[in-house]
Structure 1
Amino acid sequence: DSSSPDDKDIRILQEKNKEIFKSNKRILRSKELWESKEKQ
């Protein structure tokens, strides 16, 4: 059955995307904090 490896790959990709999304949010948040400090 050729569908299970694909499912596994998709799951792995989704996990990676979750991690990337999390780190991107963290970067964005720190950037916003930094910019708000700059404005003061």
Structure 2
Amino acid sequence: LIRRKMVESAKEGIKLKASNSEIYGKMQEVFIQMDSNPE
């Protein structure tokens, strides 16, 4: 489930032609969300 979320956010970033740093920031956001909401 976690991996799928990361892949989805990465695909979104690629779709938007985001830079690697932006994709990394998005992934960090996902990690923070998972930390605050373990379920």
Q: Compute the TM-score of the two structures, normalised by the length of structure 1.
A: 0.48
Q: Compute the TM-score of the two structures, normalised by the length of structure 2.
A: 0.49
- Report which of the two has the higher share of helix: 1
